[in-house]
Amino acid sequence: MELQIDHISKSFKDKRAVDGVSMTLTPGVWGLLGANGAGKTTLMRMIAGIMEPDAGQIRYDGLPIGTLKGRYREIFGYLPQEFGFYPEFTVKDYLEYAAALKGLPVRDTKRRIMELLEMLSLSDVYRKKIVKLSGGMKRRVGIAQALLNEPELLIMDEPTSGLDPGERVRFRNLLSEFAKDRIVLISTHIVSDVEYIATRNAVMKDGGLIAEGTTEELVKLVDGKVWQCVISAERLPEYERRLRVVNLRNEADGRVSVRYLAENAGEAMALRMTGAGAEANAGTAPIPAAPRLEDLYLWLFPQDMAHDATGEQRKLVTDQHLADSSGREQVQAAKASSLEGGFRGAAGTVRTRGQAASDRDSDSASGQKKGGRNA
Amino acid sequence: MKAETVRESNVSESSAKPVNDMGTRKRGREKAARDGRNSRARSGLYALYRKEMADHLHSGRFLIVLALIILTSYASLYGAVSNLSDAVATDSDYIFLKLFTLSGSTIPSFTTFIALLGPFVGLTLGFDAINSERSEGTLNRLISQPIYRDAVINGKFLAGATIILVMVLSMGLFIGAVGILKTGIPPTAEEVGRAAVFLLFTAVYICFWLSLSILFSVLCRHAATSAMLGIGLWIFFALFMNLVASIVAGALYPINDTATVGRVLDNYECQTMINRLSPYYLYSEAVSTIMDPTVRTTNLVLPQQLSGAITGYLSLGQSVLLVWPHLTGLAALTAVMFAGSYIGFMRREVRSR
């Protein structure tokens, strides 16, 4: 069982929403990460067959999904980002309607609905109108309808938005169990949702796929770029201005523990010894911290870090320079290769868009076919 | 289907059965799988159809329009029954049909009411059929289900058409029943036939407005826009089309004191042709012909053509023959509007809200 996404692209007027994305989904949970506007939803809608790609093809077990039509939709469940529901429907009405549309036999429908309601803690609201449910409950009703036909391929767009932490954990566990012999694709920008359960992750940016790998493989890309130190509270604004601060924690002694992203410890070391009262407020020396998927996300999407004005500006300047000189493809390739640059040894098993591009270049240059996808 | 075929062929390769037997079994299984899929798709259409029917029957706005139609039907029936004795004094034939066509002193006839208010029912049933699904974000979910995409629009049209058919039939039966009770005269077979053709015309007429409103709901993003377009067109056809036709005919074939008979005929024909572009006019003309057996033509007749003609009633078959182009025209208009909405729906990309 595999879903092959082969160089698919999609544009809306002058905006290229998805740009030549290729990947092969195999059974397991796949996390699709990316900032808002990265193209995750458009990609998912194309996988769901709601939208036709402008170029490229999506194949399920080697057959284009366009030719499978109804058969393809029978084997997948889809939870869109926006949960639309009929205001007059109760949970029961809605799930029964979805089951009827999916063509589930009537004798199995009630049993399956009850199972899912139990599983998603919705039994108490079975007869309530959906419009009266909380956001999290509505989301769970959406999840229930996606799971109704026990799909082989489950596509969920931001499934955990609106869920409280307990529900989120339960949902993650449910998905892990569900994905044993199925393909589950979850798009999210809540990194912790996929950090532990995702078999593999794909990271999208500006419509392109910039990295793909297991969580362990991906976090190695920022290995040695995550630092932490303890500083005095007075120095914090300057640190926030100069560095990409990921996390802050107030310590009992009034100082602040800072976790930040940087190519190396040098900048923080320099910062530590400069400024008024530097000697007295120097704090501890930066030490490398164990990277997490969230760190990678923030490294790749610095615009998501509200406080990092300097970093953002620096990145934009670099991007602009690269874009001016050699175009967008090279910008992405450069970003990916800069990721790999400092950590070449660790990132050997991860394939990024930059790597793929250079593979293609060297393929065409040498005329020799290289090996398949590194996994 | 191809995946099935591939899997089936894998199974077949590993099997030790004779080739012919294997082929038969494979074809049988493929057919079963195909039938299963078709049946699922059909069940999807049926589920959609049922849901739409339930939506209409429970929707407040439909119930209000239905109440309005029932009230006006009753009022027109009251008017007809009040004037029935006067009408029967001059012509005692086809009394049952007079219940539908006779107007009271101040109340229009049932046929006039339906010609005017029928479109409102069609518009009410379809003006937000697609765009409300789009704006509520339910269309996404719907078309990702294992149903054919056109099942969405087919289901909506079929549900609306069923409601219209049931409503029209119920009204016809209601008026017939009350009329029989009031007059005490049972209808003849021909009268029943004429009333049935009238009800069929009415259903097709309202279905035209349903398909038009569905078309607007496909084309317009907002339900309010599609409703306004539908209502605008309805008012135009009902009130202003005749005015436009007479202005255009007057401009093309002006009639003054010195106008020849030929010019007057041209003017009239031009006006009629333009008017017949309006479904309202087509319906009114057809219904007045069907419900009144004395109507022998829908076009202008000169006194010379009438000389020697024997006064009498047309049979039902002859009346139907006269209005056959009207019926086909109305049905064709309905089909064209539905085809437009079908194509528009199938071709238009479903985007997020």
What is the value of ipTM here, to two decimals?
Answer: 0.76
- Residues A98-135 have pLDDT tens digits of 999 888 888 889 999 999 999 888 999 999 999 999 88
Choose among A349, A348, A353, A360: nearest CA to A336: A353
- Residues A196-226 have pLDDT tens digits of 888 899 999 999 999 899 988 888 888 888 8
Choose among A145, A168, A3, A4: nearest CA to A78: A145
CB pair distance less than 8 Å for A82 and B137: yes
Residue B138 touches partner A, C-beta closer than 8 Å: yes
The CA–CA distances, whole Å, from B115 to A26, A162, B199, B201, B284 equal 61, 51, 12, 10, 7
Task: Name the residue facing B137 among A70, A78, A84 (closest C-beta).
Answer: A84
Residue A201 β-bridge partners: A31, A213
> Does residue B318 carry a pLDDT above 80?
yes
Phi, psi angle pair for A370, to nearest 5°: -85, 170
At B43 the pLDDT is 66
Q: For residue A104, give the chain B residue with the closest CA.
A: B40
CB A321 within 8 A of CB A315: no
At A269 the pLDDT is 67
> Does residue A33 carry a pLDDT above 50?
yes
**Listed ranges A333-337, A352-356, B185-189; the one with the highest mean pLDDT:** B185-189
Best residue in A71, A130, A153 for a mutation probing chain B (most B CBs within 10 Å) = A71
> Does residue B82 carry a pLDDT above 60?
yes
3-state secondary structure of A200: strand
Strand order in the sheet with A183-188: A76-79, A153-157, A183-188, A28-34, A200-205, A208-213, A351-352
CB pair distance less than 8 Å for A103 and B146: yes
pLDDT band at A255 (very low <50, low <70, confident <90, very high): confident
- DSSP class of residue A90 equals B
> Does residue A363 carry a pLDDT above 60?
no
- DSSP class of residue B313 equals P
CB pair distance less than 8 Å for A82 and B51: no
* Proportion of chain B above pLDDT 70, given as a percent: 87
B60 CA to chain A: closest CA distance, Å? 12
At B144 the pLDDT is 82
Residue A1 touches partner B, C-beta closer than 8 Å: no
- Residues A122-131 have pLDDT tens digits of 999 999 999 9
Domain ranges of chain A: 3-214, 224-290, 310-366
> Does residue A305 carry a pLDDT above 50?
yes
A-contacting residues of B 198-227, CB under 8 Å? none
Which residue type is seen at A150?
E
- pLDDT averaged over chain A? 77
Assign residue A39 a region (left: φ > 0; alpha: ψ between -120 and 50; beta: otherwise). left
Look up residue B8 and give its two tokens.
């089936």
For range B156-180, the mean pLDDT = 92
Phi, psi angle pair for A62, to nearest 5°: 85, -5
B82 CA to chain A: closest CA distance, Å? 44
pTM above 0.80, yes or no: no
B-contacting residues of A 94-123, CB under 8 Å? 97-98, 100-103
Look up residue B148 and give its two tokens.
């054919």
Choose among A350, A214, A221: nearest CA to A295: A221
- Host H or E run for residue B304: helix B303-306
At A324 the pLDDT is 40
For range A315-328, the mean pLDDT = 38
Torsion of CA B322, B323, B325, B331, to 10 degrees: -160
Q: For residue A154, give the chain B residue with the closest CA.
A: B144
Quote the CA–CA distance of B97 and B175 in Å, as a whole number.
Answer: 10
**Which chain B positions have a beta carbon within 8 Å of A89's beta carbon?**
none
Residue A85 touches partner B, C-beta closer than 8 Å: yes
Choose among B332, B280, B315, B344: nearest CA to B94: B315
CB B240 within 8 A of CB B248: no
Which residue type is seen at B250?
G
> Does residue B38 carry a pLDDT above 80?
no
A-contacting residues of B 1-60, CB under 8 Å? 1-4, 6, 37, 39-41, 43-44, 46-48, 50-51, 55, 58
Domain ranges of chain B: 47-347
Environment class of residue A150 by beta-carbon count within 10 Å: exposed (0-12), middle (13-18) or buried (19+)? Answer: middle
Quote the CA–CA distance of A295 and B332 in Å, as a whole number.
Answer: 64
> Does residue A341 carry a pLDDT above 60?
no
Look up residue B189 and give its two tokens.
């077979």
**Which chain B positions have a beta carbon within 8 Å of A67's beta carbon?**
1-2
3-state secondary structure of B157: helix
At B36 the pLDDT is 53
At A278 the pLDDT is 52
At A329 the pLDDT is 42
Phi, psi angle pair for A123, to nearest 5°: -55, -35
Q: Report, in angstroms and rounded to the nearest whole number, the Rg of chain B calculated over CA atoms.
A: 26
Q: Report, in angstroms and rounded to the nearest whole number, the Rg of chain A calculated over CA atoms.
A: 23
Fold classification of A3-214 is Rossmann fold (3.40.50)
For range A223-245, the mean pLDDT = 84
Best residue in A47, A101, A104 for a mutation probing chain B (most B CBs within 10 Å) = A101
Quote the CA–CA distance of B178 and B76 in Å, as a whole number.
Answer: 12
Buried b (16+ CB within 10 A) or exposed e, A234-260: ebbeebbebbbbbebeeeeeebbebbb
**Listed ranges A204-213, B134-143, B300-309; the one with the highest mean pLDDT:** A204-213
- pLDDT averaged over chain B? 84
Residue A57 touches partner B, C-beta closer than 8 Å: no
What angle (nearest 5°) sits at the alpha carbon of residue A29, between those of residues A25 and A32? 70
**Which chain A positions have a beta carbon within 8 Å of B350's beta carbon?**
50-51
> Does residue B275 carry a pLDDT above 50?
yes
At A288 the pLDDT is 86
Choose among B215, B211, B134: nearest CA to A50: B134
- Residues B211-267 have pLDDT tens digits of 999 999 999 999 999 999 999 999 999 999 999 999 999 999 998 888 888 899 999
What's the sign of the alpha-carbon dihedral B160, B166, B169, B175?
A: negative
Task: Name the residue facing B146 among A51, A63, A102 (closest C-beta).
Answer: A102
CB pair distance less than 8 Å for A103 and B43: yes
CB pair distance less than 8 Å for A84 and B139: yes
- Host H or E run for residue B280: helix B279-290
What angle (nearest 5°) sits at the alpha carbon of residue A59, between those of residues B10 and A359? 115
CB pair distance less than 8 Å for B2 and A73: no
Quote the CA–CA distance of B100 and B87 in Å, as a whole number.
Answer: 13
CB A349 within 8 A of CB A375: yes
Quote the CA–CA distance of B10 and A367 in Å, as a whole number.
Answer: 35
- Residues A36-94 have pLDDT tens digits of 888 999 999 999 888 889 999 999 988 998 888 777 888 888 988 877 888 889 999 99
- Host H or E run for residue A360: helix A353-366
